[in-house]
Structures are given as C-alpha cells and as structure tokens.
Structure 1
Amino acid sequence: MAEEAEKALAADGYLHNGKWNAAVGEAANRFAGQVDLASVVARSTGLEVEQPHNGVYTAYLEEGQFLDFHVDEFGFGEANLILYLKHERLAAARTVSCTVFIDADGYRECDLAPGDCVVFDGALTPHGRTPLGAGEHVILVSFGFRARDQAPRTVAHLPPVPL
C-alpha cells in the first residue's frame, strides 16, 4: 500500500485542508477486503460497522506542514481508521509530528509508526496533525466506516459534550 500511495499521490495527488490526498487503489481495496477492519473498529470502539465504504491516501511531505483541528463531514463515516504506511524522520530531530486529538481530558498526541493505526469518530472528535520537522515525511491511509445501526447517529442520540 505504501508504494501504491506514493504513486497515487505523485500522479493524482491534490492539496486539501493542508495535506496531500489521493484516492485509494487496488492495494488498499485488497487489504480492506482481506482484513476484517470492521472487527478492528468494533473491538476498539464497541461500534458495529460495515466494512469501509471509503478511503483516501494522505501525505505530509514538507517541513512545517500540519493539519489544523477539524471534524470530518458525517458522510466520511461514523468511525475512521488511520493506518500509518510511512513515517520517516531524522534520528536527531527535536520534535516529531503527531496525529493529535482533543477530548474531555485535553490534547492527546499519537506518535505512530508504520503499521500502527488509530480508530476514532472523525465527525465528533476534533483532530489534526502537529507540524512536520525537517526531513520528516508521513504517508497514511484513512478508511471511513458507517455504523450498521444509523438510529443512534441522530442529533437526539449524540453523546454528551465533554466538559
């Protein structure tokens, strides 16, 4: 997938929201078909979801590039699974770029390596990325999942606001 992502980003990548994006291809779709990603999401969150209905390759390639805090459109899915494909950094780097979330306890930084993943609800959880350091490159794939039961996703059933 990392090789496919690099090719897709180089050929068809587009800047969106401060990061490079490209549609997933055969390798990502094959992976999603062979690995029961829905069960990974269910074990992590307790939310029963369908297999991913959408996915995108994302890259951060330039020093200082970051992703400001945001929430995703509900259409991307009730759960997101971000799988790191590549995270290159200089051994002597003073800082490392991380995926970061805002939750009831404050900020949570996730410094992930290739093969690591994180699962969250991108429509309800503000998330972003801290700035890349010199020589740092990050490539990941993000899959979106829909809940099997859509009823709890109405405004009347959203979780309480964190204090």
Structure 2
Amino acid sequence: MAESPTPDEHVDELPADLDVTNLVGPTVFPDVAKRRIAGTIYLVIAAGCLAQWVQTANGGLLAAGVLLALIGGYHFLAGWRLAVNETEALAIASRTVGFPVGHASAQLAWYGLRSRPAWRILLYSADEPPSLRGLVECDGVSGEVMGEYTERNPEDWSEFGLGVSAGQDP
C-alpha cells in the first residue's frame, strides 16, 4: 500500500487549466500560443550565453547560445493562436458533411513543421442507430476545411437491439 506524501516531499501537480477534476462547464483547450512563453525563456538564456561568450571566448557558450536561440525561434514560429475553438469546429464540420449530426467528437492535432493546429471531428448522423458517419479536418487558425470523408456507417448495432424496426424479430 502506498503511503501518502509527507508535507516536506515534492508532489507533482497539473496546472489548473489542465486539471479535469476541477472542471465546471465546457472544456476549454489550452492555447498553443503558450509555446511563446517557453520561446521567450530560451531566447533570454541564449542572449545570456552569447553575452558570456563575448567576455570569455568559451566555445561551449557560443554553441549553447546558438542552439537555444534556434530552439526559441522555433517556439515562436510554432506558437499559433488557436482562433477556432471546438464548438466552432463542430459547427463547421456539421455544415460540411451535409447530414443532421447526432453524436460528435473533436480532437486537436497538429500538422506541418511549424505544428499548425487542426481540429479532427468525427460525426455520426442523428438517427438511431446512426446510418452515416463523417470525418472532417478543419484548420484551427483559419477555420478552413482541409479534408472531409463521409460514408455509410459499417458498424453492426444489432447485437444491442438497435437497427431493428419496431415489430420485427431481430
């Protein structure tokens, strides 16, 4: 049996915006632009390394400064503002598939070298059981639909008593 930590022990904690146990209301995805905070820290440390290199001519400080500056620059380039939230992405996907939507699920993903955010939305038709399903990928910055796929739902719901009209034997 695990013992509870003593007051002087360090315990890892999730940031408040990622802790689902305190969730009240709709889920809010953290903005990817937070990468710019890390980028700023890297650039400040890189500037310190380069300033020390000028004074000491230590090649290690030069290498560290250049590497940290490159990493910090990348964090700024990859720090996109997430302009389309999951509700807007679902509305865009619902208009795209062309059928009344029942259940849906949104996932935030990234693509490209600069890690541009994109929403992947899985949608099912509103009938019971769903006869159609669709997958829509929507750009998280511009809201542009990047791809769309719809098909008849191949899932077999008969073992759960669904998909059989009233009065028919299963």
TM-score by length of 1: 0.27
Larger Rg computed on CA atoms: 2
Which structure has more strand as a fraction of its residues? 1
| Larger helix percent | 2
**Which of structures 1 and 2 has the larger relative contact order (alpha carbons within 8 angstroms, sep 6+)?**
1
TM-score (norm 2): 0.26
